[in-house]
Amino acid sequence: MSQREGNLEAPTRHPIDWKNPDFHDQAQCEAEMERVFDVCHGCRRCVSLCQSFPTLFDLVDATADGEVHGVAKADYGKVVEQCYLCDLCYMTKCPYVPPHPWGLDFPHLMLRAKAIRFQQGEVTRAERFLASTDVHGQFAGIPVVVQIANAVNHTSVARGVMEQVLGVHRDAWMPELATHRFRSSAAASPSTVSTNGERTPGKVAVFATCFVNYNDPGIGHDLLKVLAHNDIPYELVEKERCCGMPKLELGDLASVEASKDANIPVLARYAREGYAILAAVPSCTLMFKQELPLLFPDDADVALVRDAVWDPFEYLVARHKDGLLRTDFTQALGRISYQIPCHGRVQKIGRKTEEMFRLIGKTVAVELNTVERCSGHAGTYGIKKPFHETAMKIGKPVFKAMGKLGADGKGPDWISSDCPLGGHHIAQGMANNGLPTAPLAHPLSLVARAYGLHP
């Protein structure tokens, strides 16, 4: 095997052969983990990312000779459970990813181990429920029920029960249910004329996402306001279900396939009709752009949707480059502490939200403090009892950076992240650490505010 050190080429992802029976063979998976762990142990470049790597290195360092072969295979699961598939090690740190001959893909190896664990029935009913966003979102929008559920979930008694039954840490921030679902309360598009640009389709199909639909419709409404202000016709996709990312994080690949089978035929129709498909949660866009194409590499409709899905700021910045985005900003935003979430960083689109903020800053006052590091929230990882305190520890450098004081000695006017769950985790972490805090607003809401679209 070549001993070439490092890699100068861009990372290359290979399809996941998850329907091959060997994929779920535990012995073969453990052999591959030993090979990969040995390389990771010799490098240790990823030690500052998630808790998977410190866990692995502690296990290695505790062996008699300090080598991976001395780690018990039964302890490999301790490494696996700490991985939340953020992809940062693969996309930003590891020098041994394909096309390097050693071909390391740590996140997808952890996914394989999670899939085996799921197939063997080792994932609890509570974990499966937490990942079923379409299920617990069904109560959203029901009068009285929503108010009661939200009130109860704020009591110490209810949080104690949730900790015991669902494994949700009693101190972790939890989203409330919306009084009105986004999909049922969204305004119709006032624009009807589609103007294509050199880079951008002139009409948009909005994939609502579970969080926006059930928990924070305001993000979706602000996206629609921005599109309408720019005379971009839009419509909500005819029907949708969860993108599948929470199930992917569990290793429940059959449920991922079921979500794919429900969503892709609908989204493929919009792709064929020339729509840009936008979703306001980075994990959802990443699911359609990367994970589903790697899980289903021979599905032509999956590839079609992959090429039609845009991060909202990727679309808006491209629209500006086409000369088709209005820059009539009227409302100063002041000092913004903005975090780039992991699932945004690994989409290979650059820092598009930051570009949009800087564009706004050419017209009205914007002082931007960008933080490019993991918040530690990571899907359901940050709310689970075994991991919440670790998630807060991982996020602490972000909390401190987000609370950075300006030249006037004051903290931020806004804190923001493209990941709405991560944003709340950051807000909680800043408050818990006594750091200067501020109102939390999604970047789309700040753009709508800059346009003067907020009352």
pLDDT band, residue 4 (cuts 50/70/90): low
What b/e readout covers 187-224, taking b as 16+ CB neighbours within 10 angstroms? eebebeeebeeeebbbbbbbbbbbbbbbbbbbbbbbbb
Q: What is the pLDDT of residues 18-64, one digit of tens each?
A: 999 999 999 999 999 999 998 888 888 888 888 888 898 889 889 98
Work out whether the CA dihedral 444, 446, 450, 452 comes out positive or negative.
Answer: positive
Q: What percent of the chain is predicted at pLDDT more than 90?
A: 58
pLDDT band, residue 1 (cuts 50/70/90): very low
Among 142, 133, 91, smallest CA distance to 281 is for 133
Q: Half-sphere exposure of residue 375, counting CA atoms within 13 Å on the CB side? A: 33
**pLDDT (average), residues 401-429:** 90
Residue recorded with tokens 């490098």: 43
Does the pLDDT value for residue 232 go beyond 60? yes
The pTM is what? Answer: 0.91
Query: Are the C-beta atoms of residues 370 and 351 closer than 8 Å to each other?
Result: yes
Q: What is the pLDDT of residues 98-121, one digit of tens each?
A: 888 888 899 999 999 999 999 999
Of 153 and 423, the structure prediction assigns the larger pLDDT to: 423
Does the pLDDT value for residue 453 go beyond 90? yes
Q: What is the pLDDT of residues 363-400, one digit of tens each?
A: 999 999 999 888 888 778 777 888 888 888 888 999 99
Residue 331 has a pLDDT of 96
